[in-house]
Amino acid sequence: MRKVTLIRGARQLLTLRGPSGPRRGTELGNLGIIQDGAVLIVDGLVREVGPSRRLENLAAAREADEIDASACVVMPGFVDTGAHLVSGPARVIDYQTRLGGPASEQVAYAGGETLAIARSIQDLSVRLLESIALGVLEEAVRHGTTAMETKSGLGLTDAGEIKILKAHSALQERPVTIVSTFQCDRPPPGYERETDEYMQWISSHLLPLVKRRKLAEFAGIRCGERSFTPRQAFRYLTAAQQLGLGLKLRADAGASRETIRLAVEMEATSVDDIVDLQESEARLLARSHAIATLSPGAAFHLALERYPPARMLIDSGAAVALGTNYNPATSPSQNILMMIALACRSMHMSAAEAVTAATVNAAHAIGRASSIGSLEIGKSADLLLLSVPDYREIPYHFGVNLVELVMQSGVVLVERSEVKWPAR
């Protein structure tokens, strides 16, 4: 028996309908809004979108379970890019140390951050890592995330990386879209001066193992002063491409123009966590298919002076996506609503641009735009009801969870109940 649901009466229905490719320039501001909108869902897929009056009169709607969205915004579920979902427990000690004022290098030197995360991953079982990650994922879903790209890269050793990727596989059994990326962030301890040898080993041994065990869809690598050179990244990305993996490149602080050019020439799906960028590099990205993913959470948490250059990228015509880049050391937040608020306040994006970047453009950044990211006929019914009448209130209420309902493939995952005041 088929399952039919009608969501009707939305004050604003944000369909995000538009061109098939990622949105750029002024297209980022087009949310495809329908006033008093409705969505008809049949067996987990969007059957129709349009004004409530029209959809209520459809034959299929007569057998539907109805959800009243009066005074609410209805929109696609958020797509989070670049999260480190499997990364162990919170790094409270590092955070407390930061509150005292030392620089990031001092925290790392004291045994915190990446090395401490790698040690915890080494010490914890896959089952316990999965349990901690599930708690992180559940909080993300409560804040409206229905799809997430999750990266490795914090395990440092091959055993640690495989452990993370196995946990990714276990989480993919949950009713949320999980896309796994094998991330090569930096050489492990002992290989800092032998990065060429390490890159040869990882390209010839670990990448084929990841592909053979079907542990990841994408392979990513970090370029910058403290990670890998463009030449080393080329070797890695070439090996990944030959194996049929999608490509991602992280342009770390201090990354060169050569890094951006490499991403463009290798036809990488995305260039992640951009911080430093020149206008010429933004124009180079604009002429490519690569999506620039931006993550303001780290700048906020680490109290950095500079946020990602969203305005430069958008004005240059580049496609941008927005995500949490969840990481217990640098961006310990799963709240993508807060990322939208930060993008508007500190990156000078409009509310419409930020919503587009966190939905349909983020879906393109993880290779899922054909099925999620917008509310269009035939796509998965991944959607949210927000307790505001106007989408522009999303960044206005910063740090507040506005989510009333989360639906993934037509199934309700989160439904917030009303506050029950005792009788007086």
Give 109's pLDDT tier (boundaries 50, 70, 90): very low
- What does pLDDT average to over the chain? 91
* Rounded-to-integer distance, Cα 401 and Cα 334, Å: 11
Supply 28's token pair.
């980022």
pLDDT value for 101: 65
- Band of pLDDT at residue 110, cut at 50, 70 and 90: very low
Which tens digit of pLDDT belongs to each residue from 245-303? 999 999 876 666 788 899 999 999 999 988 888 898 999 999 999 999 999 999 999 88
| Residue 32, pLDDT score | 97
Own/partner contacts of 90-95, CB < 8 Å, gap of 24 or more, are 90/328, 90/332, 91/116, 91/117, 91/328, 91/329, 91/332, 94/329, 95/332
pLDDT value of position 154: 83
Homologous superfamily of 4-77+374-415 in CATH? Urease, subunit C, domain 1 (2.30.40.10)
- Please say if the pLDDT value at position 149 is more than 80: yes
Instruction: Convert the pLDDT of each residue in 3-39 to its tens digit.
Output: 999 999 999 999 999 999 999 999 999 999 999 999 9
So what CATH class is 78-365? alpha beta
Band (pLDDT 50/70/90 cuts) for residue 102 is low
d(CA 305, CA 300): 9
Instruction: Take residue 14 and report the two structure tokens written for it.
Output: 């944000």
Exposure string (b/e) for 91-116, b if CB count within 10 Å is 16 or more?
Answer: beebeebbeeeeeeeebbeeebbbbb
Mean pLDDT computed over 180-203: 84
User: What is the tens place of the pLDDT at every residue in 332-388?
Assistant: 999 999 999 999 999 999 999 999 999 999 999 999 999 999 999 999 999 999 999
* Domain locations along the chain: 4-77+374-415, 78-365
